[in-house]
A and B are shown apart, each in its own frame.
Chain A
């Protein structure tokens, strides 16, 4: 089936550094998402993105976060600067959006550890 690829699978960085998480969504999908999952907690919505713009962001999407998808390449989540509480697994997802299709296709996640 359709696959979403997330790179890298693990990332360890020092607090205050910048990190970029990359997502290669399903090729014909139009809507893109980031979810954050802290260990032992539920996956929580961060942001969704369509037609080059942020559609909606949650209160977890701090000012230090940004997303973009330049020229239809990777959909990225950038955190600058990182904080200890940013340690989590970040899941990227995409959906086609055509015909009202709502199924999200997820990547396997990037585990971010901020030291």
Chain B
């Protein structure tokens, strides 16, 4: 059964900093990797996703995937207080389209 783990559990950074969030998974056959963001009391919302090894950048956000290491990450450049939220990573294996989620990293960006 797929195991997805996130680190760190929580993170506090100053405004303007680079933030790095990590996600490891156990199934090497995993095919889809995504990050979701959940502000307090709100719905989780998809941020970015990637299918193949490498990097993908969208604005201040970069996702990096290394399948051989069973690891992917999210990097936030110039972190803003509005980025404060719970970040969830999600991994899908096979054709069942039911991603497995990590427990989340709680990010606080202070002004």
A contact set with B: CB distance below 8 Å? 1, 3-4, 31, 33, 35, 41-45, 48, 55-56, 91, 95, 97, 102-109
6 A/B residue pairs, CB under 8 Å, sorted by A: A35-B101, A42-B104, A48-B98, A103-B34, A106-B45, A108-B43
Q: Quote the shortest CB–CB distance from B12 to chain A (angstroms).
A: 19
Q: Quote the shortest CB–CB distance from A75 to chain B (angstroms).
A: 15
Q: Does B100 contact A (CB under 8 A)?
A: yes
Contact across chains for A102 and B98 when beta carbons are under 8 A apart: no
Contact across chains for B98 and A42 when beta carbons are under 8 A apart: no
Contact across chains for B101 and A106 when beta carbons are under 8 A apart: no
Question: What's the tally of chain B residues with a CB closer than 8 Å to chain A?
Answer: 23
Contact across chains for A109 and B43 when beta carbons are under 8 A apart: yes
Please provide the 9 A-B residue pairs with the shortest distance between their CB atoms, ordered closest to farther. Answer: A42-B103, A106-B43, A103-B46, A108-B43, A106-B44, A43-B101, A45-B98, A42-B101, A107-B43
A-B CB contacts (within 8 Å), total count: 55
Q: Quote the shortest CB–CB distance from A1 to chain B (angstroms).
A: 8
User: Among B46, B49, B98, which residue has the most Cβ atoms of chain A within 10 A?
Assistant: B98
Q: Which residues of the other chain, A, contact B4 by a CB distance below 8 angstroms? A: 42
Contact among B41, B99, B103, B104 for A104, CB-based, below 8 A? B99
Q: How far is the CA of A104 from the CA of B90 in the complex (A)?
A: 10
Q: How far is the CA of A44 from the CA of B4 in the complex (A)?
A: 11
Q: Which residues of the other chain, B, contact A35 by a CB distance below 8 angstroms? A: 101
Q: How far is the CA of A31 from the CA of B42 in the complex (A)?
A: 21
Contact among A1, A102, A105 for B97, CB-based, below 8 A? A102
Q: Does B61 contact A (CB under 8 A)?
A: no
In the complex, residue of chain B having the shortest beta-carbon distance to the beta carbon of A3: B43
Contact across chains for B41 and A33 when beta carbons are under 8 A apart: no
User: Among B4, B90, B99, which residue has the most Cβ atoms of chain A within 10 A?
Assistant: B99
In the complex, residue of chain B having the shortest beta-carbon distance to the beta carbon of A45: B98
Interface string of B89-110 (1 = CB under 8 A from A): 0101000111111111000000
